[in-house]
């Protein structure tokens, strides 16, 4: 099956469920088995609805198996707990998703795990950070807010030669546009709350990898910590996956149009988007990704004091966190950093992040234009 067929039909068994094209929702805690030993006992362990979503996601990511979790952070934290122990060392890019870095530095730090942050675009810096106790190189390509890439194939080769496990957050690119496992990465994580769900109404996470790791993760970290996805969330995730290809085509087309529009706008200082030829890693993006999406950042001319006036004048973009849904959103990461952090992390104080929804690109560009001009009037 190609990826579009996997989204619509993969992982399903119509005969098993009376020919229903929409799989049943097994919204149950317990499975009794006095008369039939069907293999199910408790939804925290396994559930038929959740398994359909997991089979689709494993096939999309070209991995052997997948596990669904109650949130993206539940998936990320479970994977890291499974791989690390007291005295372990982790390497990750400085601009990785904020809660992930907090989890590593503060939470895992309480248990003797150390973390080194690096410029993920610099392979030599990653290599120089490796220690004898390094167990994990955690990546996110592109990175949150700043959208730098990491050379996944090169990092995977570097790590594998030293027995280090690699993990990549692939939420931005989705399995349609990037498959890290095919590039040598060991484990892939997603926030299913974003593009995979696509409708802004589910909370979930996914881990994909080899069958042995997934079986151990299901038995230990997911089973013992209990952060399994709810069956209804899995049912909604299956629904979201059915429309993923058509949605991603629209997000990509609109994202590229709006990025080019913003790059040419006189009131925009800089656009951060790997789909633009001006992106310093554009060629790397062409090498390891098959497409780009609708989440990007840009810095306003005139400094951070222009940000909120622009945001307040927007009519179609709503202000809020998260991204990847049908609705267009704007967030203001630059306003949350001080000057020292801005310089160290390369996050301009006037940086805003937008998620391009499924509205007409022309209408969104008109909205951005009037808001930018209104903020300078």
Question: In a 3-state reduction of DSSP, which class is residue 49?
Answer: helix
Q: Is 97 a catalytic residue?
A: yes
> How crowded is the C-beta side of 3, counted as CA atoms within 13 Å?
18
Q: Is 312 a catalytic residue?
A: no
Note if the bond before 142 is cis, omega within 30 degrees: yes
Q: Helix and strand tally (H, E) in the chain?
A: 15, 12
Outline where DSSP puts E strands in the chain: 65-69, 89-93, 114-118, 134-140, 165-169, 187-191, 205-209, 268-272, 295-300, 318-319, 329-331, 351-355
Q: Is 44 a catalytic residue?
A: yes
Q: Which residue in the list 3, 151, 169, 222 is annotated as catalytic?
A: 169
| CA dist., res. 209 & res. 212, Å (int) | 8
Q: Which residue in the list 44, 242, 290, 345 is annotated as catalytic?
A: 44
- Please say whether the dihedral angle defined by the alpha carbons of residues 193, 196, 202 and 208, taken in this order, is positive or negative: negative
Q: Which residue in the list 97, 138, 195, 273 is annotated as catalytic?
A: 97
Q: Which residue in the list 3, 56, 135, 194 is annotated as catalytic?
A: 194
Known catalytic residues are 44, 97, 169, 194
């Amino acid at each position: 099956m190609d990826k579009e067929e996997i989204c619509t039909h993969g992982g399903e068994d119509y005969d098993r469920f009376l020919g229903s094209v929409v799989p049943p929702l097994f919204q149950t805690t317990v499975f009794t088995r006095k008369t039939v030993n069907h293999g199910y006992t408790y939804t925290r362990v396994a559930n038929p609805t959740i398994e359909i979503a997991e089979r689709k996601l494993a096939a999309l990511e070209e991995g052997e198996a997948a596990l669904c979790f109650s949130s993206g952070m539940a998936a990320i934290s479970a994977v890291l707990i499974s791989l690390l122990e007291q005295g372990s060392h982790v390497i990750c890019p400085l601009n990785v998703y904020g809660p992930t870095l907090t989890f590593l530095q503060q939470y895992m730090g309480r248990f003797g795990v150390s973390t080194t942050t690096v410029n993920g675009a610099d392979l030599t810096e990653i290599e120089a950070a490796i220690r004898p106790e390094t167990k994990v190189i955690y990546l996110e390509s592109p990175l949150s807010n700043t959208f730098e890439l990491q050379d996944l194939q090169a990092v995977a080769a570097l790590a594998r030669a030293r027995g280090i496990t690699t993990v990549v957050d692939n939420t931005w690119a989705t399995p349609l546009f990037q498959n890290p496992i095919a590039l040598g990465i060991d484990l892939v994580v997603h926030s299913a709350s974003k593009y995979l769900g696509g409708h802004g109404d589910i909370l979930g996470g996914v881990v994909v990898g080899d069958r042995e790791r997934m079986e151990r993760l299901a038995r230990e970290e997911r089973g013992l910590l209990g952060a399994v996805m709810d069956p209804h969330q899995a049912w909604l995730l299956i629904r979201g996956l059915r429309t993923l290809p058509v949605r991603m085509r629209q997000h990509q087309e609109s994202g590229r149009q709006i990025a080019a529009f913003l790059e040419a706008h006189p009131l925009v200082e800089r656009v951060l988007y790997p789909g633009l030829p001006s992106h310093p890693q554009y060629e790397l993006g062409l090498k390891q990704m098959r497409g780009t999406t609708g989440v990007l950042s840009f810095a306003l001319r005139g400094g951070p004091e222009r940000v909120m006036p622009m945001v307040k004048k927007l009519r179609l973009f709503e202000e809020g966190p998260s991204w990847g849904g049908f609705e267009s959103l704007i967030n203001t990461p630059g306003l949350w950093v001080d000057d020292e952090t801005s310089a160290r992390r390369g996050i301009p104080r006037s940086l805003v992040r937008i998620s391009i929804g499924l509205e007409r690109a022309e209408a969104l560009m008109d909205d951005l234009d009037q808001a930018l001009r209104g903020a300078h009037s």
